[in-house]
Amino acid sequence: MEMDVVVVGGGVAGIAAATEAARGGADVLLVDENRALGGALAPLGDVAVGPDATAASRLRETMAAETRAAGVTVLGESLLWGIFDGRQACVLTPGENLDLVPSALVLATGAADRPLPFPGWEIPTVMTAQDMLRMVSADAAPGRHVLIASAGGWGVEAALALRAAGIGIAAFLESGALEGGARDTLRAAGIPVHENAVLSAAHGTEYVQGARFHGGGVSRDIKVDAIALAFGAAPLAELFWIAGCEMAWNAAAGGHVPVRNDDLETSVPGIYAAGAAGGLCGLSTAIAEGRVAGAAAAVRAGKGDRGSVGARRAEANAAREREAPAIARALGALWALETDLVGSVLSSSDAPLCRCEKVSGARVRAVIEGGAQTASEVKRITRAGMGECQGRNCRPLLSRAVALLTKSDVALAAPITFRPPVRPVPLEALLRGKS
């Protein structure tokens, strides 16, 4: 099925891209896994976000209304699971399978929270802050006395959203010092704050029954029934790898990201990267990048105005200049904590580095010391990275482990490979409509 523009991802970057392309005269299809648009904003409720401190719910509703008013076709609860032969996009919907060949494909898949390992992180009610927010918004709260472990201030918005939803926050742990009034905001919401404090262990079997954290040379035990991890995030870049885009390590962008030109086009002609998928960024930058990619995609489809691309690019550059320093500081905290926690788990006898396949840090260490030089070799020998999450959680951890034990730069540690589908899908669904 040929069409002008397909946008993947219903967060702010994707919504902005779809709206901009449609306003430029392109026929636009927006594909998102969720039922409602909004991405990471959706579960935040009325928490203030962005430089204007706009309620997340209001911003989401306004942007969603704009994209529909522009004539964008929205395909919710649908998964773009693979990209082949340039821009052939395979989409699984609730009712059918679609093979789309757009003139331009904008990938605005966002970012995912980065869990880091520690003893007990495999217990069921230990999860990322994003996952906990989704559960709470679906009236399926995993616990009522929650500990939030944060780095670089990454967990502040999640903590406020959970508290507003009626979840008790037993402790907010920040690995360093909070900045910009975040400490006072959390305490005003009734959230106990512990700075320069790091989660060291979780206890329990079927669910978390307690945790231990340390800071200032003192360890403390606390009774909680769930733990939300908000150490940082990584771009959801699987589709770029699968599409064959040139990728490069960029610590200031959150890891491996697609190489882009000024129009945010990747090395594969007609595939654009917008928002956090192309490198972690602030809210205003994500929206501005969406507009750049949307305008450029419309022009590639033979619609739109080339002059609008330049104007949108200037807006994105200004937003990036404002927001990049804060992102860099947050990522600095993530990288430091990742190095410490992965190093600790590698020395542990039973703490897992891959929790899906229950592969311990000690097992990974033994394999690397036995001669494995890459994360892919470790995967083949131990099955780490072959679990249900498809390596989404442990892929960067394995790269870090290889770098630490081989005394090499993590930027040079090739990640384990990406293969379609990007999410587990039923075989019967893929075969639907096949004879």
Average pLDDT of the chain is 94
DSSP secondary structure letters along 314-382: HHHHHHHHHHHHHHHHHHHHHHHHHHHHHHHHHT-SS-EEETTTTEEHHHHHHHHHTT--SHHHHHHHH
**Is the pLDDT reported for residue 90 higher than 50?**
yes
The answer to the question of residue 336 being in a domain is no
Q: What is the domain range of residue 397?
A: 347-435
Summarize the confidence of residues 221-250 as an average pLDDT: 96
**Is the pLDDT reported for residue 364 higher than 50?**
yes
For the chain, give the percent of residues with pLDDT over 90. Answer: 84
C-alpha span between 239 and 396 (Å, rounded) = 16
The answer to the question of residue 342 being in a domain is no
Residues 160 and 121 in one domain: yes
213, 230, 247 - which closes a domain? 230
pLDDT tens column, 387-422: 988 888 999 999 999 999 999 999 988 888 888 999
Residues 214 and 289 in one domain: no
The answer to the question of residue 305 being in a domain is yes
**Is the pLDDT reported for residue 350 higher than 90?**
no
**Is the pLDDT reported for residue 379 higher than 70?**
yes
Summarize the confidence of residues 132-154 as an average pLDDT: 94
263, 291, 326 - which closes a domain? 326
230, 258, 274 - which closes a domain? 230
The answer to the question of residue 331 being in a domain is no
Residues 137 and 101 in one domain: no
pLDDT tens column, 93-123: 988 889 999 999 999 999 999 999 999 999 9
pLDDT band at 435 (very low <50, low <70, confident <90, very high): very low
For residues 120 and 126, is the Cβ–Cβ distance under 8 A? yes
Residues 124 and 108 in one domain: no
Q: What is the CATH number of the domain that holds 176?
A: 3.50.50.60
The answer to the question of residue 380 being in a domain is yes
pLDDT tens column, 15-40: 999 999 999 999 999 999 999 999 99
pLDDT tens column, 38-52: 999 988 999 989 888
Report cis status (omega within 30 of 0) of the bond before 396: no
Q: What is the CATH number of the domain that holds 398?
A: 1.10.10.1100
Residues 156 and 240 in one domain: no
Cα 232 from chain centroid (whole Å): 9
Total number of domains constituting the chain? 3
The answer to the question of residue 196 being in a domain is yes
Residues 85 and 33 in one domain: yes
pLDDT at 434: 59
pLDDT band at 424 (very low <50, low <70, confident <90, very high): confident
Residues 203 and 126 in one domain: yes
